[in-house]
């Protein structure tokens, strides 16, 4: 398998490239528009055909590359069925399997950071978007985020994956590149409580400023990152 993690230094976003083999089909998770040329470069060098670009949710801190990648490669651009991004070419639902040659990712509806957030499970790893981070969790105070949903998604869905499952989030701000479900159960400081209410109390006290890019990124991302609306 080909597996590549990219780090965008401006927004601290992780993007993931997956393919079963050089010369085969590829999938990108949470690509950043400014890095589109880099993804296309690596796809060409590895002789990969991009067939799917997926956003785990509508990002508020960077502009998605979904539209740019679709224009460049004619790939499918996917988000979950709850997404309000009219531009995506298809929507997946909870439990649906995304297939490309040799690889299968299962969509897991994990709202909380937003109400349209999904995780993607593939064998020994899970791409958690902004719902579960490394020793943190995604904020729940905008885009219909909700601490109760976040708790349910993490505790009752993600934490039912095997402990050794590798966690690949959409962000990390310290330079940690991965974790595991077992580690986050044991060491995620926000999750060392017993009830959703205690977790909500933590999340509701964060008082974070809005992301710098929010007013630009969210409207742009509802158009797949394109400057003008498209069907």
The residue ranges that bind its own copies (CB under 8 A) are 4-9, 35, 38, 42, 45-46, 174-178, 183, 186-187
Of residues 187 and 201, the one with the C-beta less far from its own copies: 187
Of residues 107 and 181, the one with the C-beta less far from its own copies: 181
Q: Closest separation between CB of residue 175 and its own copies, Å?
A: 4
Q: Closest separation between CB of residue 3 and its own copies, Å?
A: 9
> b/e map of 140-158 (b: 16 or more CB within 10 Å)?
beebebbbebbbbbbbebb
Name the pairing type of β-strands 118-122 and 125-129: antiparallel
Of residues 152 and 211, the one with the C-beta less far from its own copies: 211
Q: Closest separation between CB of residue 219 and its own copies, Å?
A: 25
Q: Closest separation between CB of residue 46 and its own copies, Å?
A: 7
Using DSSP, state whether 55 is helix, strand or coil.
Answer: coil
Inter-residue contact 224 to 88 (CB < 8 Å): yes
Tokens representing residue 93 in the block: 């639902």
* 113 closest CA partner among 208, 226, 222, 29: 208
Name the pairing type of β-strands 13-19 and 2-8: antiparallel
Of residues 34 and 198, the one with the C-beta less far from its own copies: 34
Q: Closest separation between CB of residue 183 and its own copies, Å?
A: 6
Of residues 4 and 84, the one with the C-beta less far from its own copies: 4
Q: Closest separation between CB of residue 6 and its own copies, Å?
A: 5
Q: Closest separation between CB of residue 5 and its own copies, Å?
A: 5
d(CA 19, CA 119): 18
Tokens representing residue 97 in the block: 């399997």
Inter-residue contact 31 to 65 (CB < 8 Å): yes
Q: Which residues contact 18 (CB under 8 A, 6 or more apart)?
A: 1, 2, 3, 26, 27, 28, 29, 100, 103, 105, 122
């Amino acid at each position: 398998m080909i597996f590549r993690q990219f780090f965008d230094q401006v927004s601290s976003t992780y993007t993931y490239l997956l393919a079963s083999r050089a010369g085969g089909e590829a999938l990108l998770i949470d690509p950043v528009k400014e890095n589109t040329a880099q993804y296309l470069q690596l796809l060409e060098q590895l002789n990969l055909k991009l067939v799917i670009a997926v956003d785990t949710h509508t990002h508020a801190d960077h502009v998605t590359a979904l539209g740019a990648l679709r224009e460049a490669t004619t790939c499918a651009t996917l988000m979950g069925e709850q997404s309000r991004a009219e531009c995506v070419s298809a929507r997946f639902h909870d439990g649906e399997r995304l297939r490309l040659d040799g690889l299968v990712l299962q969509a897991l509806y994990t709202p909380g950071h937003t109400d349209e957030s999904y995780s993607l499970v593939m064998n020994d790893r899970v791409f958690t978007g902004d719902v579960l981070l490394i020793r943190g969790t995604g904020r729940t105070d905008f885009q219909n985020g909700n601490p109760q949903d976040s708790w349910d998604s993490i505790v009752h869905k993600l934490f039912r994956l095997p402990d050794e499952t590798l966690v690949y989030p959409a962000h990390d701000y310290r330079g940690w590149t991965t974790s595991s479900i077992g580690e986050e159960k044991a060491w995620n400081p926000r999750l060392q409580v017993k009830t959703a209410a205690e977790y909500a109390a933590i999340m509701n006290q964060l008082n974070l400023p809005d992301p710098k890019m929010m007013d630009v990124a969210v409207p742009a991302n509802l158009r797949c990152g394109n400057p003008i609306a498209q069907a």
